[in-house]
Chain A
Amino acid sequence: MPPDLPTDVAVAPEVIAVVAGAPSRRTFGVGAWLAVGWLVLVIGLALLAPLLPIPKPSEIIDHGALRDAKPSLSHLLGGDDNSYDLFSRIVWGARNSLAVGFFAVAIGGTVGGFLGLIAGYYRGRIETLITAVLDIMLAFPALVLALALTTFLGHSLFYVSLALGIISTPILARITRANTLTWSQREFVTAARAQGAKNRRIIVREVLPNVVPAMASIALLAVAVVIVAEAGLSLLGAGLKVDVPSWGNIITFGRSGLTNGQAPHIVFSGSGAIFFTVLSLNYLGDVVRARFDVKEGALT
């Protein structure tokens, strides 16, 4: 019999065209650098906030003269309805919004990552149990679960982060489990096992490093989701305490200026900060995912 190759040349060009047609996020291009640039800027400003030559976030400027003021040279984003300097609010808000995003995903990543590794590596009953728990956590719409927790627990940075961490746990656990499953079946894991390595050592040394890219790409997206959720909670009065500057609180208290048409820039500043941050995080998440060829399926 002549050798019968599975694919004929007829299909090849079309498939290639499809791949070529996908947005070229496989390379670390201009878009990725812009995203990194924005995140570095925001994180840098947030970290350096106390050192920056800007008014304190709760410093009433000129006895209320800055109330709803339009952006100007001396006050880059103008003032808000409390006559606070809006740029300062955004920078200090970044501190809190990003902190919530980071802590929540750190919680979700640790707990979810642990559960996912255990479930994916050991399989069997423990996997069934963990999967069931995750399914239950996903049985609530995420924001409803978060608002229920903050409403009944409290509105401190810790509780808000905890609530949002809990909702990001199943997402991170699922992707970790899926990737652990595939990596655990690779030859080098079998080889390590054959050499008598302990399971814990195999998980930490052999499996985890390979699962990290997948977790990282989803974690970036999860930070974005959490930042948006924080703002959503604020709008419902279930987020950080009202006097704490956060992007969500800026939007919440800028709403009156928007609906009366007098000071839409307050809402737009907060929204812009969220939009560009989320866009950057999503973009980088995609870049990481494309780079490491992460299988999707866990995040929707």
Chain B
Amino acid sequence: MGALIGKKVVQLAAVLLVVTFFSFLLIHLLPGDPAATIIPLGTDAQRTQLRKDVGLDKPLVSQYTRWLGKFVRGDFGRYYRQFGGEPVRKRLSQALPVSLQLLVYAEVLALVIAIPLGILAAYRAGTWVDRFLSTGAFASLAIPDFVLALVLIFYLGVKLKWFPVLGYVHFGQSPTEHFKSMFLPAFSLALAQAAVYMRLLRSDMIATLQEDYILMARSQGLPTWRILLRHALRPSSFSLLTVAGISVGTLIGGAIVIEAIFTLPGVGLTIFQAISERQYIAVQACVAVIGCGYVVVNFVVDLLYTALDPRVRHAA
């Protein structure tokens, strides 16, 4: 068990190195002189400052170690503007909580939708209920999250005015308004995820319900809901958990677009604005932060998986 975790930690470190190295390299993909591209309207003094900040004159490897050293200390560079420019870290530290909230809400919402429906579809496998749910899930998978977002904005926001179409309300400011401002973005992200989860849970659950231990539970006279929830759900949810972990990547990608659409001040909106303002250093920092965050999430999911399945837990 300990050795297993140790091995995983080494893997984690290796992947983090590669992810940060790639993020670092991005700046060198820019055509021409990076300094000139990053500050097209700047003065020579500003460019010199930038070269010094990034260390463009040094060899690649020492540039990277310099950049990585700053990155782990939380120095993500700064915005380059005509007059000064704030550190990227400041923006990111405000943006990260909003993005995390959105991701957590979306993930929770997706599971809340998917688990009962998946159980129902499996329990009623082959009936019209199952067919209806499966068809619905299939159609949901073809709706890109931003399309759903725009449709919901138009009908529920613009037409019915049930939800605000843009902006973010802090939880401390007004919890109800906070959830109202987060519902459409979270739901837009959640629906396709829910469809994936539901289909997965359905098929795993159908397999589980064929197991002898379910028959055993039935032969002991346990009520159906107890069998479904306590006996069948957990052994059916391993691939669900794995996929929920993997699909955090899809969610993060989706969340960036969704934040841009709803102008939620998260990392996505930060990236979006940085792209349109050509703040390459900021884009680079965001990419590195998201990449590392994603790798860590996958690592945690991997550990959780181990905790959920006692057979894996006791194997090592």
Q: Do A and B belong to a common assembly? A: yes
- Tell me, yes or no, whether A135 is within 8 Å of chain B by CB: yes
Tell yes or no: A279 within 8 A of B by CB: yes
* Complex Cα spacing A229 to B147, Å: 12
User: Which of A234-248 touch B at CB < 8 Å?
Assistant: 235-238
* B18 in contact (CB, < 8 A): yes
| Per-residue B-contact encoding for A254-282, CB less than 8 Å = 1, 0 else | 01001111001001100100110011001
In the bound complex, residues from chain B placing their C-beta under 8 Å from that of A224 are: 142
- Which A residues are in CB contact (< 8 Å) with B23? 148
Can you name the residue of chain A whose Cβ is closest to the Cβ of B144?
Answer: A228
| CB contact between A23 and one of B134, B144, B248 (< 8 Å): that residue | B134
State whether the Cβ of A3 lies closer than 8 Å to any Cβ in chain B.
no
Determine the residue in chain B with the shortest Cβ distance to A248.
Answer: B146
Contact A267 B290 (CB under 8 A): no
- By a CB distance below 8 angstroms, the chain B residues around A28 are none
A15's nearest neighbour on chain B, judged by CB, is B210
- Residues of chain B within 8 A (CB-CB) of A261 are 154, 158-159
Tell me, rounded to whole Å, the shortest Cβ–Cβ distance linking B142 to chain A. Answer: 4
Are A278 and B150 in contact, with the CB atoms below 8 A? no
A26 → chain B closest CB, angstroms:
14
A154 and B271 contact, CB distance less than 8 A: no
Are A21 and B126 in touch, CB under 8 angstroms?
A: yes
In the assembled complex, which residues on chain A have CB atoms less than 8 Å from the CB atom of B196? Answer: 300
Check A144 against B291 for contact (C-beta < 8 Å).
yes
Cβ distance A232 to chain B, nearest Cβ, rounded Å: 5
- Could you write out 13 A-B pairs with CB less than 8 Å apart? A139-B294, A142-B249, A143-B252, A147-B275, A149-B29, A232-B257, A255-B150, A259-B154, A271-B151, A278-B142, A279-B142, A283-B138, A300-B196
B19: interface (CB < 8 Å): yes
Among B131, B276, B287, B290, chain A packs the most CB atoms within 10 A around the CB of: B287
Q: Is B96 part of the contact surface with A, judged by Cβ < 8 Å?
A: no
Residue in contact with A152 in the complex, picked from B29, B141, B146, B298, CB distance below 8 Å = B29
A17-B126, A135-B15, A274-B144 are known contacts. Are A141 and B294 too (CB-CB below 8 A)? Answer: yes
**0/1 interface trace, chain B 103-120, chain A, CB 8 Å (1 if under):** 000000000000000000
Interface check A51, CB cutoff 8 A: no
Any B CB within 8 A of the CB of A62: no
B165 within 8 A of A: yes
Q: Is the CB of A147 within 8 A of B271?
A: yes
CA distance A18 to B246 in the complex (A): 28
Does residue A82 face the partner (Cβ distance < 8 Å to B)?
no
- Decide yes or no: A236 and B294 within 8 Å by CB, A21-B127, A141-B253 being known contacts: no
Smallest CB–CB gap between A65 and chain B, Å? 25
B206 in the interface (beta carbon within 8 A): yes
Q: A-B pairs with CB below 8 Å: how many?
A: 154
Query: Is the pair A23, B31 in contact by a Cβ cutoff of 8 Å?
Result: no
Picked from B157, B210, B283, the residue with its CB within 8 Å of the CB of A151 is: B283
Residue of B nearest to A270 (CB): B147
Give complex CA distance A149, B30 in Å.
Answer: 10
Contacts A152-B27, A236-B271, A237-B275: A140 and B291 contacting too (C-beta < 8 A)? yes
Residue of chain A at shortest CB distance from B125: A21
Closest Cβ neighbor of B276 among chain A residues: A237
Does A11 reach chain B (CB closer than 8 Å)?
A: yes
- The CA-CA distance from A195 to B96 in the complex, in Å, is 61
User: Contact: A231 with B146, CB < 8 Å?
Assistant: yes
A160 within 8 A of partner (CB): no
Q: Is B301 at the interface (CB under 8 A from chain A)?
A: no
Please give, as numbers and ranges, the residues of chain A lying within 8 Å of B139 by CB-CB distance: 279
Asked if A232 contacts B253 (CB within 8 A), the reply is yes
Quick one: which of B135-174 are within 8 Å of A by CB? 135, 138-139, 141-144, 146-147, 150-151, 153-154, 157-159, 165-166
What are the interface flags for A33-72 relative to B under an 8 Å C-beta threshold, 1 for contact and 0 otherwise? 0000000000000000000000000000000000000000
Q: How far is the CB of B202 from chain A (nearest CB, A)?
A: 10
The answer to whether the Cβ of A1 comes within 8 Å of any Cβ in the partner chain is: no
User: Chain B residues near A136 (CB, 8 Å)?
Assistant: 15, 18-19
Q: Is the CB of A11 within 8 A of B210?
A: yes
Distance (whole angstroms) from the CB of B165 to the closest CB of chain A: 6
Contact A259–B158 (Cβ < 8 Å) = yes
Is A139 a contact partner of B295 (Cβ separation < 8 A)?
A: yes
A148-B23, A152-B29, A232-B257 given; A141·B150 CB < 8 A: no
Which parts of B254-295 form the interface with A (CB within 8 Å)?
A: 254, 256-257, 260-261, 271-272, 275-276, 280, 283-284, 287, 290-291, 294-295
CB distance from A268 to the nearest CB of B (A): 8
Question: Within 8 Å of chain A (Cβ to Cβ): is B243?
Answer: yes
Taking the complex as formed, is B46 at the interface, i.e. its CB lies under 8 A from any CB of chain A? no
Cα distance, A235 to B256, chains bound together (Å): 10
Cβ-defined contact, A20 with B146, below 8 A: no
Kindly state whether residue B130 has any CB partner on chain A within 8 Å: yes
Closest 3 A-B residue pairs measured CB to CB?
A21-B126, A143-B253, A279-B142
Q: Are B260 and A235 in contact (CB under 8 A)?
A: yes
Residues 68 to 122 of chain B near chain A (Cβ within 8 Å): none
Shortest Cβ distance from A227 into B: residue: B144
A267 and B150 contacting across the interface, CB-CB below 8 Å: yes
Contact A251 B256 (CB under 8 A): no
The reply on B250 being an interface residue by CB < 8 A is yes
CB-contact partner of B144 in A14, A231, A258, under 8 A: A231
B125:A23 contact, CB within 8 angstroms: no
- Beyond A238-B275, A255-B261, is A139–B153 a contact (Cβ under 8 Å)? no
Which chain B residue has the least Cβ–Cβ distance from A142? B253
